[in-house]
Copies of this chain bind each other. A is one copy, B any other.
Amino acid sequence: MKQFITLGEMPVEEIEQLLRLAKQLEASPINESLKGKTVALLFMNPSLRTLASFQAGVAQLGGNVFVIQPGAGSWNLEVEDGAVMDGASQEHIRDAIPVLGGYADALAVRCFAAGKDLATDLTDGLIRKMAAMSPVPFINMESAAAHPCQALADWKTLDDLEAPRAGGKFVLSWAWHPRPLPYAVPISAAEMALLRGMDLTISAPEGFDLPQETMHQLGKLGKVTVTRDPLEATEGAHAIYAKSWCAPAFYGKPEEEAEARKELRHWCANESWFENADPSARFMHCLPVRRNVEVTDDVIDGPRSATLQQAKNRLHVQKAVMAAMLGDASQ
């Protein structure tokens, strides 16, 4: 494996292999499979889980890690090809990516959606361009349209919880948020649920469906239902995954988007969503979460919450990805 960009492009068997390796690493977390290896982490956006778990994970595999944060101790990076760089950007990714790759055995990059043009962001072209520039194996730590580390951790969490695959009901519900958020997590969560064999129900208010192109892609992977009613959506659900995302029609227009969202604050995951769910149903969220905005304290602090397991599984699955990419075959 030389690139880890999105689960949607990987054979399910390869994903299952990573999950088996992740389970082994959970049981036996310390080894030397990355001894003498260095992983470069390039963060063009903020992070807590990813920043922490990649550093901890590399260390637990006996490797070394360094973090670069453009605009915070490092130069601002230009991403446009052919740019005449007389503005605020001090270095181009065409130079930065191969340079960092030259110092490391693998390069992991976080680069959120630009949030200007929907079609462009949905192609996830920038992260693919960076991966192609990298002289070493490349990991997507969340791009415009994919967060495969999170999706893999979510898959493992569902496995750990013994959530059903075929016949299982995975609800991805929109939630209100003070800012328009990108599609990386909802797309990756939806793909993950379908690839895992579950049925997907997307619950969102009018105007807040996922983009048409995304729905088209998801439809190829399995059964997708859309509802406007959280109580209907969550009936019989095995997993309820809350996440905010922006309205496709107002992409790149945050003021109009805010206007469209302003009457929707009641879209906050709460106990009522679990009333008719399957008794085993769990609450999921990728974190960070806006408490009492996206989800009530009751739910996230209650016994149904799987959020800490999801977060902890980030560590295990990322170690599996790195070990598969870089580890000594004899390990």
- Select from chain B the residue with minimum beta-carbon distance to A90: B288
* Contact residues on A (Cβ < 8 Å of other chain), bracket: 35 or more
| Beta-carbon contact of A74 and B102 below 8 Å | no
Q: Known contacts being A91-B288, A95-B287, A99-B311, is A48 close to B30, with CB within 8 Å? A: no
A188 at the interface (CB under 8 A from B): no
Most buried by B among A74, A83, A103: A103
A43 at the interface (CB under 8 A from B): yes
Residues facing B in A62-119 (CB within 8 A) are 64, 66-70, 72-75, 78, 82-87, 90-92, 94-96, 98-100, 102-104
Instruction: Find chain B residues with CB under 8 A from A87 CB.
Output: 178
A140 to chain B, nearest CB (A): 18
A70 to B73, CA, bound (A): 10
Instruction: Find chain B residues with CB under 8 A from A228 CB.
Output: none
A303 at the interface (CB under 8 A from B): no
Q: Which of B46, B98, B290, B315 contacts A86 (CB 8 A)?
A: B290
Most buried by B among A30, A43, A64, A308: A64
A304 at the interface (CB under 8 A from B): no
| Beta-carbon contact of A43 and B311 below 8 Å | no
A228 to B319, CA, bound (A): 56
| Beta-carbon contact of B68 and A46 below 8 Å | no
- Select from chain B the residue with minimum beta-carbon distance to A49: B99
Instruction: Find chain B residues with CB under 8 A from A92 CB.
Output: 289, 291
A157 at the interface (CB under 8 A from B): no
**What are 25 of the A-B contact pairs (CB < 8 Å)?**
A36-B60, A38-B60, A40-B52, A46-B74, A46-B75, A47-B74, A47-B75, A48-B70, A48-B75, A51-B66, A51-B68, A52-B66, A52-B68, A56-B66, A56-B103, A72-B73, A91-B287, A94-B301, A95-B291, A95-B300, A95-B307, A96-B288, A98-B308, A99-B311, A102-B312
10 tightest A-B contacts by CB?
A: A59-B64, A91-B288, A55-B66, A85-B290, A56-B103, A30-B36, A102-B312, A84-B292, A99-B311, A48-B74
Q: A75-B288, A91-B287, A102-B311 are in contact. List 20 more A-B contacts (CB 8 A).
A: A40-B52, A40-B56, A47-B75, A48-B99, A48-B100, A51-B66, A51-B73, A52-B66, A52-B68, A52-B100, A52-B103, A52-B104, A84-B293, A85-B291, A85-B293, A86-B293, A91-B289, A95-B300, A99-B312, A103-B315
